[in-house]
Structure 1
Amino acid sequence: MTSSYLRRRTALAGVALLAGQAMLPAAHAQATAWPDRPLHLIVGFPAGSSPDLTARALAEPLAKALGQPVIVENKVGAGGNIGADAVAKARGGDTIGLMINGNLTIAKLLNPALRYDPATDFAPISLIGVAPLVLVAPVNAPGADARAFLDAARAAGNTWSYGSPGVGTVGHLGMELLKARTGIAPVHVPYPGYSQVFSGLVRGELQLSMLPPALAQTQIAAGKLRGIGVTSAGRSPLVPELPSLADAGVKNFNLEIWNAVVAPASMPPAHVAKLAEVLGAIVRTPEMRAQLFQQGWQAVGSAPEGLASRIKADTQTLGAIIRAQNIRVQ
């Protein structure tokens, strides 16, 4: 072989190598593109429920942003825990879940036999929306304001009763937290649901309760209940006419209900990060903020770290009440 022939071969090989290297990023990106199939969004509550409405509001813009269909699946039962368990056990990287705060914080504390563990089985993606509870009372309740009402509740001791939609619900735990923070002592009366709690208040069987803002506002506006205050740290745009209980002198009291999107802990971190970025952008749009507000939520659209912090804080706060009173549900 001549030296010129060898030089030509060497030059051609170098060009081919450079061309191959130039193609690697595109080929690698194509091989790792995600999602490459429909995404399943599991909801542990029935169609038409608040979590279901939120999931379906998110599904269409999420599908558009990801370039794949997003299929909402209702796996109903056990206060959302059946759906949560399905998300925790999912494999394949194509399943996420829309859950409420209880499923992601205190579920295992309330029922140690639960088949999933909120602390280890999920990868937080984004906190979607938050809302306070509203402390309500009959329209003829004593006290001109929240402070005076709580003074009357302290004076009444255990002669007053409060209602909730069941043991271990946020209405139950929220009231027990308020008792611990204020020294009031009403007796808990569990009911099958919020409609029965409302009826008990109207009939005078109950002296107070904590209701979701949408339900509370409807009854307050109709003159059937009196709003005392909200459980968030400050006034809420969802119920702007009511003070916060913290502003009324209740110390170390900040309780909100919320919903969030999580993935199984097995989902690759890069996929979690992509979903968090996309969902956060969707939730923070004016259109989605308005839609969530109509559903009774103040939009957030947090990063995974923000959701993880909320899960930890709420688990600590409500976990202390659960442990102190040995509250359990089956």
Structure 2
Amino acid sequence: MTASLDRRTLLAAGAASLAVPAFAQKAAAPAWPTKTVRILVGFPGGSTPDLVARTIAEPLSKALSQPVIVENKPGAAGNIAADQVAKASDDHTLGVMINGNMTIAKLLNPATPYDPLKDLAPISLVGTAPLLLTAGTGVPFTNAQDFFAAARTAGNKWSYGSPGVGTVGHIGMELLKTKAGIDPVHVPYPGNPQVINAMIAGQIQLALLPPGLAAQQVRAGKLKAVGVTSSGRSSLVPEYPSLDEQGVTRGFQLEIWTAVAAPASLPKAVVAKLSALISEIARTPEVRQKLFAQGWQVAGTSSEGLANRIKQDTALLGDVIRTRGIKAE
């Protein structure tokens, strides 16, 4: 009897000893967040990334029961803010970034102080959008076939604008040049508004622009639309056919996107928590409507989904950078 009791006691004690470490681990796991969460944006207030950040900040604050504030740190095409996110060590700093900050920054400029593939943790791809190939009204054409025939004839007498060296508007056009056999000269501008003004004034002939921005000018009769850079029509501007469906650039697809990232040092459990929350927030009807109005097709992916997109775009755009010899100024 005593032996049996002793055996049961030992078994119970053994089970308890196995349970203690797991319980202790759970109890020791720090609650997150424990203070205000910062979202850094590498562009000025009112810019597209800024609007996205402010759209998700309020519902994220409610979900986390902590303040979430947006701080603008403009400069170097968003890379200044991206570098600050990469180097943040407080576990409470995030960033809303564009394609280039999370993919090709280091390829464009080896002196970039962070490596997007090593120093940033993908959280969620929030929104995507194709670009709209747009031309000035002085360019005569009735469809994409006519436009590209005229562009091939013009050669380097035509020029195209972008919001700067290394932007998707620049690299995407260099890719389009190889796909479509055209050769317009690149003219960089401070931003897309200046690109649009230059096209309206007849100083340049074409540009790849965010659809919401370009469509306003096309509908007003100030610019002409050639086609969107998606495989089919985009829900953002369904009235314009894609270049692919018009048969001029088979397989040519290009998107701009915005996403949430964190320092690579952020604990994986926190990354998983944020990824689930932000992807869910992005897909709610209210936030979806706001993002759509800002010109985004809502993605709301997992961290793994964003990581895959980063890998794909780094390969695609990186190949263009290498073959065309593009370097950041």
% same residue: 58
2:310 aligned partner, one-letter code: I
Q: What does residue 224 of structure 2 align with?
A: 226
* Structure 2 equivalent of residue 175 of structure 1: 173
Displacement of 1:23 = 8.8
Task: For residue 88 of structure 1, give the secondary structure of its aligned residue in structure 2.
Answer: helix
5+ residue gaps, structure 2, are none
1:276 is aligned to: 275
Mapped partners of 2:73, 2:185: distance in 1: 34
- Which of these residues, 188, 196, 199, is aligned with residue 190 of structure 1? 188
In structure 2, relative to structure 1, the CA distance for the partners of 1:36 and 1:88 (3 Å cut) is same
The code of the aligned residue for 2:262 comes to: A
Bigger CA drift: 62-71 or 50-59? 62-71
Instruction: Give the alignment's Cα RMSD to 1 decimal.
Output: 2.5
Partner of residue 70, structure 1: 68
Residue 26 (structure 1) shift? 7.0
Q: 2:103 aligns with which of 88, 105, 112?
A: 105
DSSP 3-state at the match of 1:120: helix
Q: Structure 1 residue 15: deviation in Å?
A: 9.4
**Shift in alpha-carbon separation, 1:11–1:168, aligned structure 2, 3 A:** closer
State whether residues 181 and 252 of structure 1, in contact with CA within 8 Å, keep that contact through their aligned partners in structure 2: no
User: What's the CA shift string for 1:75-108, capped at 9, x where partnerless?
Assistant: 2211110100001111132111111111011111
Mapped to 1, the partners of 2:105 and 2:225 lie a distance apart of: 29
Aligned amino acid, residue 124 of structure 2: S
Match of 1:151 among 149, 155, 158: 149
How far apart are 1:302 and its partner, in Å? 0.2
Cα distance in 2 between the residues matched to 1:69 and 1:23: 35
Q: Which residue is 1:126 aligned to? A: 124
Mark the CA change 1:24 to 1:62 in structure 2 (over 3 Å): closer, same or farther. Answer: farther
Superposition pairs of residues 249-328 of structure 1, within 5 angstroms: 249=247, 250-328=249-327
Given that 2:158 and 2:184 are in contact with CA atoms closer than 8 Å, whether structure 1 keeps it comes out as yes
Q: How does 1:3-82 map to 2 (within 5 A)?
A: 28-32=25-29, 33-82=31-80
The one-letter amino acid of 2:32's match is W
* Deviations 1:166-218 (CA, angstroms, capped at 9, x unpaired): 22222111111100111011111222322222222122222211111121011
Q: 258-267 vs 10-19, which deviates more?
A: 10-19
In structure 2, do the counterparts of structure 1 residues 62 and 25 end up closer, same or farther at CA, with 3 Å as the change threshold?
A: farther
Q: 1:256 offset after TM fit, Å? A: 0.6
For 1:263, the aligned partner's letter is A
> C-alpha displacement at 1:112, in angstroms?
0.7
**Paired residues of 2:174 and 2:324 also in contact (CA < 8 A):** no
Shift of the 70–17 alpha-carbon distance from structure 1 to 2, 3 Å rule, reads farther
CA separation in 2, counterparts of 1:147 and 1:37? 57
User: How far has the Cα of 1:252 moved from its partner?
Assistant: 2.8
Number of the residue aligned with 1:88: 86
Q: CA deviation at 1:246?
A: 1.4
Q: Which moved more, 1:167-176 or 1:26-35?
A: 26-35
d(CA) in 2 for partners of 1:295, 1:99:
15
| Partner deviation per Cα, 1:240-297 (whole Å, 9 max, x = no partner) | 1111111122123111110000111111111111111111111111111101011111
Q: Once the 2 structures are TM-superposed, how far is the Cα of residue 17 of structure 1 from its aligned partner?
A: 9.9
Question: In structure 2, how many angstroms separate the alpha carbons of the residues matched to 1:204 and 1:37?
Answer: 52
Instruction: Judge conservation of contact 2:102–2:310 (CA < 8 Å) in 1.
Output: yes
What is the deviation of 1:117? 0.5
The structure with the larger Rg is: 1
| 1:34-70 per-position Cα deviation (integer Å, ceiling 9, x unaligned) | 2222222111112221111111111111111122221
Deviation of the 1:311 alpha carbon: 0.8
The alignment covers a number of residue pairs equal to: 327
**Structure 1 unaligned residues grouped into runs of 5+:** none
CA distance in 2, matches of 1:167, 1:185: 17
Question: C-alpha separation between the residues in 2 aligned to 1:48 and 1:143?
Answer: 35
1:197-208 alignment, distance < 5 Å: 197-208=195-206
Residue type at the aligned position of 1:269: K
Corresponding residue for residue 244 of structure 2: 246
TM superposition shift of 1:13: 11
Q: What's the CA shift for 1:143?
A: 2.5
Q: State the SS of the aligned residue for 1:119.
A: helix
Secondary structure of 1:329's counterpart equals coil
